[in-house]
């Protein structure tokens, strides 16, 4: 049995989007509800954060220490280095008052693929977007509730994402040269009531790891969509995973502390970042190219 440990004891309201920076050996992550971007140094145990005025759903790194691209409630922004000075890029959902960005990841060509969430959930009002070369923004998919779990196969020929309330993970053929997706189907359908697929990452063998929100576990799925491993997490709501450390064999897991009191009594480390060692390394995250 794998040993799951607390990497950072913290009560994140909605911890999400852990990202390993292999150049600085740091783990960045967000607390969406607190409007914060965090920088965690596992070596020293130090965690610091930047405070924003709105939700930050996800982000990606840029090359050569040029900072970040942030996907926030009001659209895409550049942030140069560890600074709160934001430069607006585009807001493709400016007319959708309920929506905010939620989850995303860069492809190997440097495009930022990011999706939104539609909180009322009374219709399929969320979308998946591509912020591409030249800062062009285009819609890839519509008709979603909560876009999550964005990840690419090692050869970048398959794009995965989940629609969390539908308990489904999807896969599409991906053309890296154009950024086009096609031939989508259901990769894995989870049973209702046993946890919903949230954030994810793909390891170097092409296996898809996802956190199951309200499922108290993370799972590893084969390229055929079969569950091959499950790891229990000491929190009912893990949210996303990221491969880190020098060998990329430490899986970091964010979680949620904004939960009922009786649940927090049962899982007092909820909201913390957990870690567990795995056998197969992950992949270095691609960075945004503009």
Q: How far apart are CA 179 and CA 57, in angstroms?
A: 22
261 DSSP β-pair partners: none
Q: How far apart are CA 153 and CA 174, in angstroms?
A: 10
Those residues whose C-beta lies under 8 Å from the C-beta of residue 116, and which sit 6 or more positions away, are 57, 93, 96, 99, 100, 101, 102, 126, 127, 128, 129, 144, 147
Triad 266, 270, 276: Cα angle to 5°? 110
Q: Catalytic positions, please?
A: 198
Residue pair 41/51 in contact by the 8 Å Cβ criterion: no
Cα dist from 180 to 23, 83, 110, 134, 136, whole Å: 30, 33, 14, 16, 14
* Residue 169: its H or E element: strand 168-175
Q: How far apart are CA 290 and CA 288, in angstroms?
A: 6
Q: How far apart are CA 4 and CA 266, in angstroms?
A: 16
Task: Provide φ and ψ at 270, rounded to 5°.
Answer: -55, 140
């Amino acid at each position: 049995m794998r040993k799951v440990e607390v990497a950072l004891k913290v009560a994140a309201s909605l911890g999400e989007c852990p990202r390993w920076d292999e150049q600085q050996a740091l783990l960045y992550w967000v607390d969406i509800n607190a409007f914060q971007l965090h920088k965690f140094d596992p070596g020293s145990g130090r965690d610091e954060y930047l405070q924003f005025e709105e939700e930050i759903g996800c982000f990606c790194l840029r090359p050569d220490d040029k900072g970040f691209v942030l996907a926030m409630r009001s659209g895409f922004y550049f942030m140069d280095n560890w600074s709160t000075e934001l430069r607006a890029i585009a807001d493709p959902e400016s007319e959708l008052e309920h929506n905010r960005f939620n989850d995303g990841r860069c492809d190997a060509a440097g495009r930022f693929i990011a999706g939104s969430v539609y909180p009322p959930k009374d219709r399929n009002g969320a979308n998946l977007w591509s912020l591409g070369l030249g800062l062009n923004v285009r819609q890839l998919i519509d008709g979603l509730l909560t876009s999550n779990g964005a990840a690419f196969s090692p050869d970048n020929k398959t794009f995965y994402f989940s629609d969390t309330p539908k308990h489904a993970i999807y896969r599409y053929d991906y053309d890296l040269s154009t950024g086009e997706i096609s031939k989508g189907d259901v990769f894995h359908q989870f049973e209702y009531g046993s946890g919903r697929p949230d954030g994810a990452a793909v390891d170097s063998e092409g296996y898809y790891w996802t956190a199951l929100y309200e499922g108290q576990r993370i799972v590893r799925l084969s390229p055929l969509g079969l569950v091959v491993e499950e790891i229990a997490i000491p929190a009912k709501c893990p949210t996303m995973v990221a491969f880190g450390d020098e060998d990329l064999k430490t899986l970091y897991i964010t979680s949620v502390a904004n939960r009922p009191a009786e649940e927090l009594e049962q899982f007092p480390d909820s909201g913390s970042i957990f870690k567990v060692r795995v056998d197969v390394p992950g992949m270095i995250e691609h960075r945004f190219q503009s």
